[in-house]
A and B are shown apart, each in its own frame.
Chain A
C-alpha cells in the first residue's frame, strides 16, 4: 500500500467528500445563529445550544442524530415531551403570579393575545398544511417555546425544527416586532395613561392560585394537564414556602440542564434535507403573522378595557399578553416610557404576560384535544 492510496482513502472517508449542498447551507445557517447568539445576544441561552445542535447534526458522517448517536438518545426527552414539561416546571418556579392576582382582568388580555394562534392556523390551512401541521404552526403565536415544541412533537414532529427555530427566533425579536404594531393601534393619549398602584396580594392567595388553576383548567381541558400541571407545580414549590430547596433546584440547576439538552436536540433536528424546503419559508412567514396578530389581539383588547374602565388601563400592556416572559412586559414598559417618562408599566404588564403563559397552554390543550387523535 503506498502513501498516496492511504491519503486518498482517508480523504474519501472524510466528511468533506460526503457533504451535500443542504448540509453546507445548514452549517452556514448554524454559524449565523451562533453569531446572533454570541455577538447580538439574541436569546443566547436557547439560541446557542440550538445553533450548535444544528451544526453537529449537519456535519457529514457524524452520526450524532442517527440510531446510536448521543443526541438521538437525548432526543427521547423531546419526543416524549419530558423536556418541555420540565421547562414549564422551571418557569412555574420562577414566576410570580402576584401582579396577575392583583389585577385578574389581566387574564383576559392574556387570552386575547392568543388571537395569532388561530389566525396562523387558518392561514396555514389555506396554504395547504394538514390540520395537525396547521395547529403546530399556529401555536407559534403563543410565543412560548416549550408549548410550541410540546404541541409539535404530538401533532407534526417532522416540522419540529422549523417551528422551534421560528418560535425562538421571533421571541428574541419581540423588541423589534411589537413596537410598530403597538404604535399603530394606539393613540398617543392612550400610550401615556398611568395606571393605579396594584393591591398587595396575600400569601394565601398565592398558594391557592396554582391549586385552583390546575383543578379548573384540567377539569375543563384534560389535555392541558402536562404543561399547566407542571407550571403550577413549580409555582407551588415557590409559593408554599416549605419547599425552598425544590424551588431552587427547579429554577436553577434543573432548568439549565434541561435547557442544554432541549436546545441541542431541537437544533439537531434541523437536518438540511428536511429543513431546506419551501414549507420552512411558509412556516417562518406564518410564525411572524402569528406573533403580529397575537400582539394586535392583546392591544385591541387592552383598548376595549381602557374604554370600559374609562381610561384606567393602558392598552400597551395588552401586547405583553403574548407570553414570552419577561421580554414582552419589558417592551410594554419601554414603549410606555417613550411617551410618558414617569410611567412605569412593568408590573402592570407582568399580569398579562404571565396570563399569556396560561393562555398559550390552554390554547395548546384545545388544539391537542381537537387533533391529538
Chain B
C-alpha cells in the first residue's frame, strides 16, 4: 500500500467514524425532542387538575433562595473531607432527594470517626 492510498483510506475512515457518530447524535436529539413533545402534550391535562385543586399559588418560602442552574450557594465547611469526597456526597444527596444541586444548601460535611 502506498502512502497516498493509506492517507485516503485514513481520511475516509475518520470521516466514517465522524459521520456515524454524528448521525447517532442527531438521532438522540430527535428522540429527546419527540419524547419532550409527548410529555408536553400530556402535561396540560395534569396542569388543569392542579389548577382546580390548588387555585392559589403557595406563598413563597422567604428562606428559599433560587439561584441560576449553574450556580451554587453559601459557604461549605469541610472537616477531614477532601473536595472530591464532598462533591460525591453532595451529588449523591441531590440524586437521592431528586432535587437539583443548586436548590440545596450544604453547611458542613464532617467525617464520622
| Chain A residues engaging chain B, CB cutoff 8 angstroms | 100-101, 104-105, 107-108, 110-112, 114-115, 117-119, 121-122, 125-126, 130-131, 134, 194, 196-197, 202, 204-205, 208-209, 212-213, 216-217, 220-221, 337, 341-342, 344, 355, 358-359, 362-363, 366-367, 370
Contacts and interface: CB of A to CB of B under 8 A. Distances in A.
Contacts of B87: 344
A367 B72 CA distance: 47
Interface string B5-24: 01101110110111011111
A205 B31 contact: yes
Per CB-CB distance, the 3 closest pairs between chain A and chain B, nearest first, are A118-B10, A104-B25, A104-B28
B16 to A, nearest CB: 5
A209 B28 contact: yes
A205 B28 CA distance: 8
B27 interface: yes
Given A196-B69, A221-B20, A107 B25 contact: yes
Given A107-B25, A205-B32, A205-B35, A121 B10 contact: yes
B22 to A, nearest CB: 6
A194 B35 CA distance: 28
Interface residues on B, range: 20 to 34
Given A125-B1, A125-B6, A337-B83, A108 B25 contact: yes
Contacts of A221: 16, 20
Contacts, number: 104
B29 interface: yes
B contact patch SS? helix
Nearest to A367: B13
Nearest to A131: B1
B23 A114 contact: no
B70 interface: yes
20 contacts: A104-B24, A107-B21, A107-B25, A108-B25, A111-B18, A111-B22, A118-B13, A122-B3, A126-B3, A131-B1, A134-B6, A204-B35, A205-B35, A216-B20, A341-B83, A344-B87, A359-B21, A362-B21, A363-B17, A370-B13
Contacts of A370: 9, 13
Nearest to B102: A197
